[in-house]
Chains A and B, each alone.
Chain A
Amino acid sequence: VISLARRYRFSAAHVLARDEWSADKNREVYGKCANPAGHGHNYEAEIWISGEPDPATGMILPVSRLDELVGERVVARLDERLLNRDVPDFARAVPTAENIAHWIWNQLEPALPAGLLRRVRLVETPNNSVEYAGPSEDA
């Protein structure tokens, strides 16, 4: 198996809270991250693709092509945004690291050749990261 990973960076703000919950309930579940004023992170998204390299080019996918896709479909939509307000999907889903990683997967998977996307690893702080590798096969 051969894979390629590339790291992309963006900065974004979020509030971890559900509108239908009380302030107390949100604080209980999300702690300081429920602060209504929001707070920011410098995110790093590691995008993994896996596949047989093209015999002619020797590449799974040109890195420049991956840069275009991730730039247009992910970074341009998230960078310097308040996720809850500026990204329609996060008006409903709370923009936790888990949900952002899942969202990134959903932006990229349909735009890449079938089966190429292998994993999205999202680093939120030097101390926490999440990985999403697509829907589980037994789901």
Chain B
Amino acid sequence: VLEVTLDGPVDAETGMVIDLKHVKDVVEREIAARFDHKQLNADTPWFRERAPTAENFARVIFDLLDAAFPGRLLSSVRLWPTPDWCVEVER
């Protein structure tokens, strides 16, 4: 499970920090499309030099999403390898 937290001002017109549909599309494009059902070491370029530990994977995810969301809106990502443990990267 991946939890993505965005932190920013509430738009006066829409009453939202960001459109959830947009969040879903960005995460789908930036993360799921690249990593879902992949063998992380072999099928993706990010883990040739470093092991795909939860710590390293969460940092890659944070950096990809941070580049995709405007205005430093990304606050943190939490990656849950199992329901019993997670890794969190905060700005």
Residues of A within 8 A of B (CB): 1-7, 53, 57-60, 63
Contacts and interface: CB of A to CB of B under 8 A. Distances in A.
A1 B59 CA distance: 10
Given A1-B90, A3-B90, A58-B50, A53 B55 contact: yes
A59 B58 CA distance: 11
A101 B60 CA distance: 33
B77 to A, nearest CB: 10
A2 B53 contact: no
A59 B56 CA distance: 8
B89 A2 contact: yes
Contact of A4 (B59, B85, B90): B85
Interface residues of B, number: 18
B59 A7 contact: no
A6 B85 contact: yes
Nearest to A118: B88
Contact of B51 (A3, A4, A57): A57
B88 A6 contact: no
Nearest to A2: B89
A58 B85 contact: no
A2 B87 contact: yes
Contacts of B83: 7
Interface in B46-71: 50-56, 58-59
A5 B85 CA distance: 5
Contacts of B51: 57-58
A58 B84 contact: no
A5 B55 contact: no
B39 to A, nearest CB: 17
